[in-house]
Structure 1
Amino acid sequence: MSSSTVTAMDSIVPTAESSIKIKPEEKTKPTLSEYNASSTSPSELVAAICRDGGVIVRNFASKSTLAALEQEIRPYLDADEGYDGEFFSKDTRKAQGLAARSPTFCKDILANDLWRGVYETLLTTTTKSWTGDNLHECVSRPQLSSCAVIAIHPGGKAQPLHRDDMVHHVSNPAVTANNYQIGRDTSVGLFLAGTRTTKTNGATRFQPGSHLQATIDPPSEQDSVYAELEAGDAFMMLASCYHGGSANKTTDEERLVYIHFMIKGYLRQEENQYLAVPREQLLQYPEFVQRKIGYEISEPYLGWVNLADPLKFVKGEDTKMSDLY
């Protein structure tokens, strides 16, 4: 066992290669199901995500959480001048690096028990490895990949449909819903609505079932639906699904969404969290958050400093060399 901390939840959340089977419901066509955060469970959400690629969770965040996020992030949004590119138009404002800029994001969203149960189930991996006569079971837990808030202002153009797992050079064959297995996907994301998001003001377009397609298959606008949310609702989605922000056709509504993706622990993060989060800010967070930002061993031996837990190095503790199984 490595020196990384294992919490109570870590001990009960199934790994991606466990014997748990998610039995998809029979449907003629994938849809976008809805659940309420107060009455659902991680396993129920995981089953819906495996079947359809995504799910809406109503009342995920409280009004006080949204108010705190707004206060922490709005200055950075207001300072952004935007740019006119393929992914974002001039009328879209962004603020990256939420893990550094928003303690509320880390405390209330990243560490949310319901969400954590989802991403730990979908992305935790295990492997067994021999060293001489010893067989070790090694665990790699999910880490934060990217986090940003995106505000589409009136006049903002629609994003092209895309898959966020393209950053990991994924190449999957097509499967059926009944044959989908946990472990196929490299990443899962959460979109938290800071304002009401609608078809007319820029709600995320989402193609249900596109996680089952071959990676090389193109997107289909006609098969897309709109993840319309009230402020505080969340949309969870596998990174292999086609999606994109929509055009804001209103004259006076801002579409504000906080977005972050979690990835498998042995993959490179999309946003470089080691540079995005200053050490002095990192040290103010609880250890669970520090490890999710990336300061954790992915067993065996991935991410060490001086053959020791990277958190010891960051905290200035003795980094005595050790086996890191």
Structure 2
Amino acid sequence: MATELDRLRDEGYVVLPEVLPAESLARIREQLDPYLQGEYPGRNDFEGHRSERVYALLDKAPAIAELVGHSRTLGLIDQLLEPNYLLSACLAILLHPGETAQRWHHDDAFVTLPRPRESYSVSTIWAIDDFTADNGATEVLPGSHRWDGAPIVGDRDDGVVVEMPAGSVVVFLGTTVHRGGANRSAGRRLAITPQYCAPWARPQETFTLSVRPSMAASYPQRLRELLGYSIHPPFMGHVDGRHPGKRLDPAFTDAAAGPRSAEFWNDR
């Protein structure tokens, strides 16, 4: 029987159904509500003129940490990206009625190496509301992670609609072509999308600036590393020749960082 990882590698995506409990969903909605009052509308057709997008979530809604560091998703990503990989983006996307479908795209288009190739990012989209064919569920093109050349898709309607109940998550490779669907319903559809990238790639969001150090310090060590408070051996990510973890905690030791950190960064 195919595993979740097998399906992800074969189709380019996999759905993990109902992995988030109702109380977590309620806490996330409560913390996000002040930022979903129409103050952050989409700025172009890709973001969505009838959508709201909220960034820097780990500074605004600490409950999002449960999604970013979820063991089920990280367990898959650990097998797909190099150790010391980073959080590249983390945003909320609220589709209002009347939103149109996005253009087809793949999330690691910033990597300009020729396709077909390995994926240097992995994206997740968490359904905070039910995802349905009518309210703008994500659509994917299975197998598109293997396509040659630039995947310029154009106008097509043969994508697989990723319908899933609230609390579920779809995980897909950065090379997989997908889009947000059109919201033809009378209701709103809320999603959270943490995205992860190779340790040598530049993240889309600069989390060491957008998340206050005091907030970053409150998160578990693994989450701090995802935000950029880590070293990719031998010395990528240092601050003035020192491990960035020492900026959060002067008592930080390399032992606290575990095997994902270079050994000699506790010397100074």
> TM-score surpassing 0.5?
yes
Q: Tell me, yes or no, if the aligned pair for 2:4 and 2:14 is still in contact at 8 Å.
A: yes
CA apart distance, 1:84: 4.8
Report the TM-score, using the length of structure 2 for normalisation.
0.89
Residue 213 of structure 2 is aligned to residue 279 of structure 1:
yes
1:165 corresponds to which of 98, 108, 115 = 108
Any idea what the Cα deviations from partners look like across 1:139-190, whole Å, max 9, x if unmatched?
Answer: x42110000110110011111011110123342237xxxxxxxxx1111111
Structure 1 CA distance, aligned partners of 2:43 and 2:221?
Answer: 39
Residue 12 of structure 2 is aligned to residue 53 of structure 1:
yes
CA RMSD of aligned residues (A): 2.2
Structure 2 CA distance, aligned partners of 1:274 and 1:215?
Answer: 34
1:115 corresponds to which of 73, 87, 90 = 73
CA apart distance, 1:248: 0.8
The SS at the match of 2:54 is strand
1:300/1:145 CA distance change after superposition, 3 Å: same
- 1:227 is matched with 162
- 1:154 is matched with 97
Structure 2 CA distance, aligned partners of 1:217 and 1:94?
Answer: 25
Residue 181 of structure 2 is aligned to residue 246 of structure 1:
yes
Q: Tell me, yes or no, if the aligned pair for 1:307 and 1:323 is still in contact at 8 Å.
A: no
Structure 1 CA distance, aligned partners of 2:121 and 2:44?
Answer: 25
Q: Which runs of 5+ in 1 are unaligned?
A: 1-23, 26-43, 125-139, 175-183
Structure 1 CA distance, aligned partners of 2:26 and 2:149?
Answer: 39
The SS at the match of 1:123 is coil
Report the TM-score, using the length of structure 1 for normalisation.
0.74
**AA aligned opposite 2:173:** L
Any idea what the Cα deviations from partners look like across 1:215-235, whole Å, max 9, x if unmatched?
Answer: 413226244111111111111
Number of positions where the alignment pairs a residue of Structure 1 with one of Structure 2: 257
CA apart distance, 1:45: 1.7
1:121/1:93 CA distance change after superposition, 3 Å: same
1:71/1:269 CA distance change after superposition, 3 Å: same
Structure 1 CA distance, aligned partners of 2:158 and 2:223?
Answer: 37
CA apart distance, 1:317: 4.7
CA apart distance, 1:117: 0.8
1:301 corresponds to which of 218, 235, 256 = 235
**AA aligned opposite 1:78:** Q
CA apart distance, 1:80: 2.4
Structure 2 CA distance, aligned partners of 1:310 and 1:81?
Answer: 31
- 2:172 is matched with 237
CA apart distance, 1:319: 9.5
Q: Which runs of 5+ in 2 are unaligned?
A: 255-262
Identity of aligned residues (%): 25
CA apart distance, 1:298: 0.5
Q: Select the structure of larger CA radius of gyration.
A: 1
CA apart distance, 1:266: 1.4
Q: Tell me, yes or no, if the aligned pair for 1:208 and 1:223 is still in contact at 8 Å.
A: no
- 1:28 is matched with none
Map 1:259-274 to 2 at 5 A: 259-274=193-208
Residue 249 of structure 2 is aligned to residue 290 of structure 1:
no
**AA aligned opposite 2:14:** V
